[in-house]
Structure 1
Amino acid sequence: MATPSHRAPLAELVEQLLDTDGPLPIVTAGEPVLRAGTERYDGQLDAALLSRFVEALRLTMHAAPGVGLAAPQVGVPLRIAVIEDPAPVPEEVRLARGRVPQPFRVLVNPSYEPVGAGRVAFFEGCLSVPGWQAVVARPAEVRLRCEDEHGRAVDEVFGGWPARIVQHETDHLDGVLYLDRAELRSLSSNQTVAERWTQPTPERAAASLGFELP
């Protein structure tokens, strides 16, 4: 367990963040906290403060809106993230992307590993890189190991869009942005994606912009 002197700085930082009502500010690319990696959660926040922080992450994720949010995205270098996806998408998109509803979850100290060799590529965005999207190839299935906010062990296989969310948010905790894994020739503004690349899969974008898909 962390010593009290080790806990204090992060607890004080979280207390300061929670001092005001409403969503927390989301930091954007270029902020060192997004690249520094995170500290494994080991009791740096007491149970009540952790609960308040998780609720603030949930509120901030909903307000953004997004389907995941990691602690570094609000300036806190702790290995904690939240995910939730109501998946309000057309049936053809659901089938192509495997985008199914995902309940609210708290990921504490998560790690993942690929299950099988399958890879899939889709446009992906990030609340910390506002205004842009790019195609990212990722493992189609991953095994997630973590704990929930109550310290219970989680060991679960995710596929489809939930697997992408798990990978994206866990990457944040390692100082990795989706752009590090993206096909940069696909980089498109949100407006261009809305105008040109709303198809369920990125095949047309790949052909037009000159990049390969797995």
Structure 2
Amino acid sequence: MGTPNDRAPLAERVGQLLAVDGPLPLVAAGDPVLRRGTEPYDGQLEPALLARFVEALRVTMRAAPGVGLAAPQVGVGLRIAVIEDPAPVPEEVRLARGRVPQPFRVLVNPVYEPVGARRAAFFEGCLSVPGYQAVVARPAEVRLTGQDEHGRALDEVFTGWPARIVQHETDHLDGTLYLDRAEPRSLSTHQAVAERWSQPTPERAARELGFDLP
């Protein structure tokens, strides 16, 4: 547990961020805050400040737009992330990727572990790595434990695209970017993905760019 002196800079940092209305500025790859890992949350923010910070993360995620956002992506080294996915995708994409709607949720001190050995590979992007996507092979099913913003225990199994989202955001809290897990030969601009690799699965991209899928 942090001392009062440890807590003050984090609370001050969050207070400064929230002094301006609207979406928070996003931190891009190259900033050390994305690589340091995070402090477990144990009350560093007073309840009212935590609620305001969570709401700011929601506003920022939606404005980006994205389906998840971790505290380090706005420069705060706390183990907190938010997710939300309306999943407005065609039926063939939904079926291929297991992408189903996810309500807004707050993940506090999340940790995941694979369930089974099955892996799935799809293009993935990140708000902190703007302009690019790459194929990432991840466990297709994970068990996520932690708490919500009210301290209630979270212990849930996620599959399909929701499993990918919670892995991506939890990785941020450990100082890991999706590029660390990506197939380098798959790296593509958003435009290239839209024009060439928009199929429900990345089989064509793997064949033409020369990389293997699990």
Superposition TM-score tier, normalisation by shorter sequence: over 0.9
- Deviation, 1:7, is 1.1
SS at match of 1:121: strand
Q: Partner residue of 1:62?
A: 62
Where do 4+ consecutive residues of structure 1 move more than 4 Å? none
Q: Could you tell me how far apart the structure 2 residues matched to 1:188 and 1:146 are?
A: 34
| CA distance, structure 1, for counterparts of residue 154 and residue 44 of structure 2 | 20
Give 1:6 shift.
1.8
Distance 2:48 2:184 in 1: 42
- Percent of residue pairs bearing the same amino acid type: 83
Deviation at 1:3, TM superposition (A): 2.6
Deviation, structure 1 residue 85:
0.1
Q: Which residue of 2 aligns with 1:22?
A: 22
In the alignment, is the contact (CA less than 8 A) between 1:28 and 1:128 conserved in 2?
A: yes
Where does residue 126 of structure 2 map in the other structure?
A: 126
Q: Secondary structure at the match of 2:186?
A: strand
Q: Give the Å deviation of 1:208.
A: 0.2
Tell me the CA shift for residue 195 of structure 1.
0.2
Find the counterpart in structure 1 of residue 40 from structure 2.
Answer: 40
Unaligned residue ranges in structure 2 (runs of 5+) = none
> For 1:11, what is the secondary structure of its paired residue?
helix
Structure 1 equivalent of residue 144 of structure 2: 144
For residue 191 of structure 2, give the secondary structure of its aligned residue in structure 1: helix
- Say if 1:106 and 1:149, in contact at 8 Å, map to a contact too: yes
Separation in structure 1 between the aligned mates of residue 52 and residue 127 of structure 2, nearest angstrom: 21
Alpha-carbon displacement from aligned partner over 1:103-148 (angstroms, at most 9, x marks no partner): 0000000000000000000000000000000000000000000100
Q: Which residue in the other structure is 1:166 paired with?
A: 166
Cα distance in 2 for partners of 1:36, 1:67 equals 23
- Tell whether 2:117 aligns with 1:104: no
- What's the RMSD between the two structures over aligned residues? 0.5
**TM-score if structure 2 supplies the norm length?**
0.99
User: Are the counterparts in 2 of residues 2 and 43 from structure 1 also a CA contact under 8 Å?
Assistant: no
Q: Which amino acid letter does the alignment assign opposite residue 104 of structure 1?
A: F
Counterpart of 1:142 in 2: which secondary structure? strand
Deviation per CA, 1:123-175: give whole Å up to 9, x if none: 00000000000000000000000100000000000000000000000000000
**Any idea what the Cα deviations from partners look like across 1:56-86, whole Å, max 9, x if unmatched?**
0000000000000000000000000000000
- Whole-Å separation in 1 of the counterparts to 2:179 and 2:6: 32
Query: What is the count of residue pairs matched by the alignment?
Result: 214
Corresponding residue for residue 178 of structure 1: 178
TM-score (norm 1): 0.99
Unaligned runs of 5+ in 1: none
What is the rounded CA distance, in whole Å, between the counterparts of 1:61 and 1:203 in structure 2? 30
Partner of 2:10: 10
CA distance in 2, matches of 1:7, 1:190: 39
